[in-house]
Structure 1
């Protein structure tokens, strides 16, 4: 039996204990006639408990939640009527002295018979309504929990899909870059393959966590930038500024690499001077990442890559940092500017 079930059972026992001891609590210091307590309080409480648990464990699930309303009402009305008759028989058989002392229900002194029956019916309706309220609340809580679990599972599945989608995309683009070096500079191509193996090791074995230290992401970006610098000409100037101290900040892995890929893909020209400036800073728990690069749009006949990098990033940001990020891009003076802010936990 788990902890929650034990707490539920103890709660039920405590409630019924309080109800059964209520006559003595309310009449503290006064003499209490036990037969009157049994006849007018404990016997009805037993019937209340039967109605409550009959609905709680059987009727509500079998009839009310399955929208069989007529049988549900009929069974409960029949049960209440039966208990009223049994109660009258018990009082007439075992508590005759008390019944003699009580005024007749239709002699004009007490309430009219119809009013008496109405009040009795209402008292038996209370445990029924209470069981419906509890069961409905439990079902709502369970439904909400299942809904959140399903949403979380969907989120994790989508994130995992995006993560796996990013890896071959990254690998494909890197291989394209290395391929371009094979004829021009075999030694650089060898170095690039060695650097790529280190990057892939990080991607395969260290990015399966929800978050990673920012310092590891920075180290990964530095290695990738150094790899990409091997294939660009002397006309391309690449500068980056990353913090060197341990910040204690954790971020989702591989968030910034698509932006760096994009800068090298569209910000470098073989014949013109180009400049790529990359910067990452943080203020308290907010990470600020910016890139500025020249704009050399991809030619229509250039089929390298698949263009999913920035789309992938945008989807991941919306899933991982909903309402906790700002992602802006713009073209200004032939320079492509990217500004990304992330509020980390």
Structure 2
């Protein structure tokens, strides 16, 4: 939006104003050089955004390092030295014929290369000095003094920095051949004369600190924020892995106990139970570590889980099941739905010796999945707080599906009902 306002809306507005009102016929805020600078800035920004979004290859890593603040400052100073050297090279004795037009003729770089190079290396000395001042400000004054010792120490150091370095650096610049001029001719110092203690030299140094410090602080803040975001992302991933590892320990222990009992009685159901358990563990170990899985696989996992419980509970539990028919095109975070089903069996079947009925209904409307689960509970259980399983589920939903889920639980006539809705991705 900002780019469109600057490059489309602003020129259109200026064209309209210049056309309609004669008094604004020559009113321009930006000349060609200004538009070139803005376009260059836009290209650098686009490259920086591109290197963030695309996969990190050697080329993108190189581009990312190239557009760091230090390198950008160095490139700008190099381009400035090259450009001003070309401008000076275009004119005959430019410093003796001031003011001179900012005209750059590339052909004269070849025809008068020795003169161009003489200008270029001397202006490069200016660039090195300014770059050194920038590095000193960023890594000594800001990162060390301001960050460690506070604002007052930073301001005091800046005053000393200006007082000591200004005449010293001005004296170094005056030794360059480009400034070997009569005293009546303005030289390439902020004051334009031979006085190293001129107030204009100090004003330039102060202006440099005033401009560079907020820019450096902005980039430092951005770097710190990027590091904090990366750390937060890693913490989220670590928390998700820990939450996934909490899934099913109760179920696994109970199933192994049932398997032990079946093997003691040499039941024919023992091999089938082992097979279902192996499928469940295989899914948990391999698919459960992925960020997302096909919804059809997650539903197969639920079906295996329910079939295993049918073997375990024999005639103690009756399942009323409804499965969606359009699950092939959607993905879902693994091991989410199982928590609700496992809770229903844990609290609806295992505490009671009577037969129990559990309803599990999963539907998909557009890309919204709805899981409805109902199980009987003892009256006093409804007053208990949510267990580890549901707290685990709530935390994972918050991390994985922010603003894309809802989870409601309520008790009615000794039936605990849970409804989960998820906005799925294809």
More off after superposition, 116-125 vs 259-268? 116-125
Distance 1:119 1:158, change over 3 A: same
Following TM superposition, by how much is the alpha carbon of 1:199 offset from its aligned partner in structure 2, in angstroms?
1.1
1:319 aligns with 2:421: no
Residue number among 53, 75, 89 corresponding to 1:13 in the alignment? 75
Deviations, residues 121-170 of structure 1 (Å, cap 9, x unaligned)? 32333333443334323322221121111111111111111222225344
Match runs of 1:232-271 below 5 Å: 232-234=313-315, 236-268=317-349, 271=353
- Distance (Å, rounded) in 2 between the aligned partners of 1:48 and 1:14: 13
TM-superposition CA deviations, 1:142-201 (whole Å, max 9, x none): 211211111111111111112222253441233244456567882233322221112111
Normalising by the residue count of structure 2, what TM-score does the alignment of the two structures yield? 0.64
Structure 1: distance between partners of 2:353 and 2:179: 110
SS in 2 for 1:186: coil
Alignment of 1:134-173 (within 5 A): 134-173=215-254
Worse-matched range after superposition: 33-42 or 73-82: 33-42
Residues 1-345 of structure 1: matches in 2 within 5 Å? 2-7=62-67, 9=71, 12-14=74-76, 16-18=78-80, 21=83, 33-36=93-96, 49-67=127-145, 69=154, 70-85=156-171, 94-96=180-182, 99-100=183-184, 117-179=198-260, 186-234=267-315, 236-268=317-349, 271-296=353-378, 308-345=388-425
Instruction: Give the TM-score normalised by the residue count of structure 1.
Output: 0.77
Separation of aligned partners in 2, 1:326 and 1:272: 32
- Deviation sequence 1:297-319 (CA, Å, 0-9, x none): 698xxxxxxx5322322222222
Unaligned runs of 5+ in 1: 103-115, 300-306
Structure 1 Cα separation of the partners of residues 235 and 413 of structure 2: 42
Instruction: Report the Cα distance in structure 2 between the residues aligned to 1:263 and 1:199, rounded to whole angstroms.
Output: 18
Q: Aligned Cα RMSD in Å?
A: 4.1
Query: What's the offset of the Cα at 1:53?
Result: 1.5
Q: Classify 1:36/1:213 alpha carbon distance in 2 versus 1 (closer, same or farther; 3 Å).
A: farther
The secondary structure found in structure 1 opposite 2:213 is helix
Q: Higher relative contact order at CA 8 Å, sep ≥6: structure 1 or structure 2? A: 1
Distance 2:226 2:179 in 1: 51
Pairs aligned (count): 326
Q: Find the counterpart in structure 1 of residue 116 from structure 2.
A: none
Post-superposition offset of 1:255: 0.5
Could you say if the C-alpha distance between residues 167 and 45 of structure 1 is closer, same or farther in structure 2, counting changes exceeding 3 Å? farther
